Structure 1
Amino acid sequence: MSAFRLAVAATAVAATAVAATSLLGLPTAQAGLDHSGGTGPREAQVWVTTPDRAELMHQRAPVAFTDATPDGVTLDVDPSARMQRMDGFGASITDSSAAVLTGLAPARREAAMRSLFDPREGIGISFLRQPVGSSDFTAAAEHWTYDDVPAGQTDFGLRHFSIARDERQVLPLLRRARALNPHLTVMATPWSPPAWMKTTGSLVGGRLKDDPRYYRAYAEYLVRFVRAYAAAGVPVDYLTVQNEPQNRTPSGYPGTDMAVHQEVKVIEALGPMLRRASPRTKILAYDHNWATHPDDIAHTPPDESPETDYPYEVLASPAARWVAGTAYHCYAGDPSAMTTMHEAHPDKGVWFTECSGSHGPSDPPAQVFRDTLTWHARTITIGTTRNWAKSVVTWNIALDPSGGPHLGGCGTCSGLLTVAPDGAVTTNAEYYTIGHLSRFVRPGAVRVGSTSYGSTDWNGQVMDVAFRNPDGSTALVVHNENDDPRPFAVRVGGRSFSYTLPGGALATFTWR
């Protein structure tokens, strides 16, 4: 993902003054919920984050449900209207993230990991999307895959395949994350096949060689990765065959221009292999933007189609039988594309799998935090889930204060955490836009009906999304798009409560 694509998303992230470790010891997400009988909920617990950082997932006093008829804007929650089942919410432990987290003293690293993954003491991240090999976010001096050989050589037998590099930092963190949250879902995505499989002999740009031997070799490479990760204690639940396959001009980092017919051929080779080797691992198609980026269209070879209906073509192909659904990114288009996909293919799932924050080099921290919180709240936290996404995933889980280390690609990205050279760990706005979901909406929760007045285009109203957890509790995530406080009511059946959220605030309400 290159810097110019981040500008399209208009997102930003800044470190807050609140240390990640300070989140440990907060009341559990389900604490204080009503366990009594009766005809409806008695009270709702409330957590609020404000764009001025005055409140950061702050638990306020509970609010009581009453039998009064609400006035004004009313958010009606209908638990009987059931939509998609949620897999989880999170980010990526990239090679860069692993480097900065591993560089912490053991006690600080453990505190940071708990603040991220512990469902009781932290935000309970429940979904990770892991690069298969190098991405732009690597701490290495050069890009790499798990089967690199000298230029001019091939390795169809994958004799040189090894995940030893990941055992240095990435895999220990993944195993710790799974120990902290056993319900963690792991997705894997390659930025490039090994260079010996490509037309350019390079990880940066080019295409997979259009030859059955290479399609099979690449499929075997991906299966070998899945099996190796499972043996290392990190089973892979979802797999795509190429990150951003329409990004034809990656800026100094691994990428592959993979046309639809090539993705189809890879999946047709991969599907039977994967079913035999790892039945739990499902294939997702596409893993790119809601709409084809204008720059990708502009760089399409003159004799080829820009394939603006890429995921639909994959699902119309024979490879569709091996595909569980479609993965999307945020750098072009809008979340409604996922509803369009769901309506066209209701038998297939939709996952939202990447959106990084970024900012201008001279943007003041207060503006960066506010812009990130409000854009991500309406577009990613609520916008994706109201449009059938089964996951919400940002990008790096942690970076240094300069948005690195990185090798090519984005120079202004941010993670959920910022880890300073002196070991200070601070939280960024994305920590809260993910946390308002992950801390309260458990894997297996189902999105339920709720009225919403806001818009991902920003209309100054109140927008929301509601979920029913496996334990029977309800979580309602609400964002006030306006700069001024907005009153509203929440109604469940014949009971309701009234509330006022500060301008730009993001809140989660929970009840039984």
Structure 2
Amino acid sequence: MKTIRYSILALLIFTVMSCNSEKKESKNLNVEVYETSESGNKLTRITEFTKVDSSAVIKLLPEQKFQTITGFGGSFTESSAYLLNKLSKRNRDTILQAYFAEDGARYSLTRTHIASCDFSLNNYTYAPEADDMELKSFNIEEDRDDLIPMIKGAQAISQDGFKIISSPWSSPPWMKDNKAYVGGKLLPKYYDVFALYFSKYLEAYKAEGIDIWGLTPVNEPHGNGYNWESMHFSPEEETNFVQNHLGPKLEADGFGDVNILGYDQNRKGIKEWVDEMYKDEASSKYFDGLAIHWYESTFDYLPKELQYAYNKAPNKYLIETEGCVDSEIPKWQDDAWYWKKEATDWGWDWASPKDKHLHPKYAPVNRYARDIIGCLNNWVDGWVDWNMVLDKQGGPNWFENWCVAPVIVDPVADEVYFTPLYYTMAHFSKYIRPGAEVIGVENADADLMVTAAINPDGSIAVVLFNEGKTYKDFTLMLGEETVKVKINGQAIQTILIPTKSK
């Protein structure tokens, strides 16, 4: 009898445990779902969830933590600022609110140019007088009409504030061996003067109420084919400049907290640059991280190169400082184009035969979504888009180097077009906040790209991209809680878990 009673008791315990287990497995995960899709959603709140028992499970692993996020955003350029001033106050405010307000994209990391770049109205420098070794002629007057007002307008709107990375496309021409804005090298005898140029820039902008968070020594040190403002640095030359001139000068002038990011060009060059920058303690002292661009390929985010950069210096920043749909005139009020593989880039025409396969026709949204998710899953902590605003021609641009921006305007008709790229950027910038930590994800569906991060307030943001043409069902799991979700074909989706589940 005792044996039978024990058997019955064991059966009851097993039954109760099974019921409790079933309850735990069926516990609902509280989420908010937002989607942008080829079918027409634009950061639309999704309230109808799938009932399909999908075998595809995406499991969040918050105990696995990776890099800390610096931010997401776009760039203040003279072209964008000039266009804003051509619009009505209502539309100008609409655009800045869309990028920086709490109910907008909440951009947190931005970039701007030091003196002129291709997206300026003309060539200019802050130090126009040749051989002015003390830079007595230094001034930022060219920025006062458009660029500075745009930055200040964004500052007035942003509740949390945003960081700014500043980059020169060239030193003043008289400091270079060819005495021109385009191409050439900085002459060693002007290394200290160019370091002073940065210090004066930081001081001048600070006087305007604009603190600069980071600098790069020059944009694209490999050059750009001698097309627009540029200045060539080898890894050894730039490291020497930062180690022995720029870093010490900023430190001496009270700007030692400004972050210096080296390189600032495409990812295939990462290895040779970080090997030199981080060669030893002395060479790496003033480098706070690496700046990179995406123009090497329209589809490959080059994870091995990103991982190499991280492993070389795990405690340094790794930030994408520029990316855009280049060599294209924007399509006006044509959302479908941004989802179709019809765009071409510079490499479509000019890439070498061995690299031609990296530059096929592509869909702009796909390129952005793939690259940002791929970057986040490979140690990148910040991602900055290029121009925030361009016109229907893809300018203004003194070199006529037309590109696409997330917001396109017609200043004559005073019209604004928010392209699907704006909403794509917002899926990251709005919900993954500075200080968030990228967390582990187990993804059972190889056709979905997924990344996730836990924010400082404990909320978790999961961003998915479905490049396929048909919808997909999946189960999102956090601990013992689950939710069944459907993502449309050709769609990017952010799932926000408002507070960390207990």
User: Larger Rg: 1 or 2?
Assistant: 2
Farther off after superposition, 397-406 or 497-506 = 497-506
Which residue number corresponds to residue 12 of structure 2? none
Following the alignment from structure 2 to structure 1, what is the Cα–Cα distance between the partners of residues 128 and 482? 61
Question: Could you tell me which amino acid in structure 2 is paired with residue 118 of structure 1?
Answer: A
Q: Does 1:138 align with 2:113?
A: no
Query: Is the 1:86–1:444 Cα contact (8 Å) retained in structure 2?
Result: yes
Which of 384, 390, 393 is residue 402 of structure 1 equivalent to?
393
Following the alignment from structure 1 to structure 2, what is the Cα–Cα distance between the partners of residues 71 and 272? 58
CA-to-partner distance for each residue in 1:62-110, whole Å, 9 max, x for gaps?
A: 759x9x9x74221111111111111111111100000001111112211
Question: Could you tell me which amino acid in structure 2 is paired with residue 94 of structure 1?
Answer: T
Q: How does 1:378-417 map to 2 (within 5 A)?
A: 378-379=370-371, 381-408=372-399, 410-411=401-402, 413-417=403-407
Question: Could you tell me which amino acid in structure 1 is paired with residue 278 of structure 2?
Answer: L
Which residue number corresponds to residue 428 of structure 2? 437
Which residue number corresponds to residue 73 of structure 1? 56
Q: How does 1:101-112 map to 2 (within 5 A)?
A: 101-112=84-95
Following the alignment from structure 2 to structure 1, what is the Cα–Cα distance between the partners of residues 469 and 409? 31
Q: Does 1:129 align with 2:111?
A: yes
Which residue number corresponds to residue 310 of structure 1? 273
Aligned pairs, how many? Answer: 440
CA-to-partner distance for each residue in 1:7-59, whole Å, 9 max, x for gaps?
A: xxxxxxxxxxxxxxxxxxxxxxxxxxxxxxxx98741101100024x111111
Which residue number corresponds to residue 328 of structure 1? 292
Question: Could you tell me which amino acid in structure 2 is paired with residue 392 of structure 1?
Answer: W
Query: Is the 1:417–1:428 Cα contact (8 Å) retained in structure 2?
Result: yes
Displacement of 1:280: 2.7
Following the alignment from structure 1 to structure 2, what is the Cα–Cα distance between the partners of residues 473 and 195? 49
Displacement of 1:359: 5.9
Following the alignment from structure 1 to structure 2, what is the Cα–Cα distance between the partners of residues 195 and 453? 55
Q: How does 1:244-259 map to 2 (within 5 A)?
A: 244-247=220-223, 249-251=225-227, 253-259=228-234
Q: How does 1:403-482 map to 2 (within 5 A)?
A: 403-408=394-399, 410-411=401-402, 413-421=403-411, 422-452=413-443, 461-482=447-468
Query: Is the 1:48–1:58 Cα contact (8 Å) retained in structure 2?
Result: yes
Displacement of 1:177: 1.1
Which residue number corresponds to residue 100 of structure 2? 117
Which residue number corresponds to residue 315 of structure 2? 347
Query: Percent identical across equivalent pairs?
Result: 27
Which residue number corresponds to residue 496 of structure 1? 482
CA-to-partner distance for each residue in 1:118-149, whole Å, 9 max, x for gaps?
A: 02x2111111111111110012xx31121122
CA-to-partner distance for each residue in 1:136-182, whole Å, 9 max, x for gaps?
A: 0012xx31121122xxx311110111112112111111112122223
- Assess, with a 3 A threshold, how the Cα gap between structure 1 residues 484 and 260 changes in structure 2: closer, same or farther: same
Query: Is the 2:271–2:309 Cα contact (8 Å) retained in structure 1?
Result: no
Q: CA RMSD in A?
A: 2.2
Query: Is the 1:43–1:63 Cα contact (8 Å) retained in structure 2?
Result: no
Following the alignment from structure 1 to structure 2, what is the Cα–Cα distance between the partners of residues 407 and 329? 22
Which residue number corresponds to residue 242 of structure 1? 218
Displacement of 1:427: 0.8
- Assess, with a 3 A threshold, how the Cα gap between structure 1 residues 173 and 360 changes in structure 2: closer, same or farther: closer
Q: Does 1:368 align with 2:343?
A: no
- Assess, with a 3 A threshold, how the Cα gap between structure 1 residues 362 and 354 changes in structure 2: closer, same or farther: closer
Which residue number corresponds to residue 510 of structure 1? 496
Which of 209, 212, 220 is residue 233 of structure 1 equivalent to?
209
- 1:168 match: secondary structure: coil
Question: Could you tell me which amino acid in structure 2 is paired with residue 332 of structure 1?
Answer: E
Query: Is the 1:243–1:287 Cα contact (8 Å) retained in structure 2?
Result: yes
Which residue number corresponds to residue 147 of structure 1? 127
Following the alignment from structure 2 to structure 1, what is the Cα–Cα distance between the partners of residues 168 and 331? 32
- 2:127 match: secondary structure: coil
Following the alignment from structure 1 to structure 2, what is the Cα–Cα distance between the partners of residues 453 and 192? 47
Higher helix proportion (structure 1 or 2): 2
- 1:498 match: secondary structure: strand
Which residue number corresponds to residue 85 of structure 1? 68
Displacement of 1:367: 4.9
Displacement of 1:509: 0.6
- 2:223 match: secondary structure: coil
TM-score (norm 2): 0.83
Query: Is the 1:444–1:470 Cα contact (8 Å) retained in structure 2?
Result: yes
CA-to-partner distance for each residue in 1:195-242, whole Å, 9 max, x for gaps?
A: 01000000111110133xx11011110111112111211111111101
Which residue number corresponds to residue 23 of structure 1? none
Query: Is the 1:45–1:62 Cα contact (8 Å) retained in structure 2?
Result: no
Following the alignment from structure 1 to structure 2, what is the Cα–Cα distance between the partners of residues 384 and 175? 30
Question: Could you tell me which amino acid in structure 2 is paired with residue 180 of structure 1?
Answer: I
Farther off after superposition, 307-316 or 492-501 = 307-316
Query: Is the 1:183–1:443 Cα contact (8 Å) retained in structure 2?
Result: no
TM-score (norm 1): 0.82
- 2:268 match: secondary structure: coil
- 1:418 match: secondary structure: strand
Displacement of 1:360: 4.8
- 2:288 match: secondary structure: strand
Which residue number corresponds to residue 338 of structure 1? 306
Q: How does 1:256-267 map to 2 (within 5 A)?
A: 256-267=231-242
Runs of at least 5 residues in structure 1 that lack an aligned partner in the other structure: 1-38, 293-306
Q: Does 1:287 align with 2:287?
A: no
Displacement of 1:451: 2.5
- 1:309 match: secondary structure: helix
Following the alignment from structure 1 to structure 2, what is the Cα–Cα distance between the partners of residues 416 and 100? 14
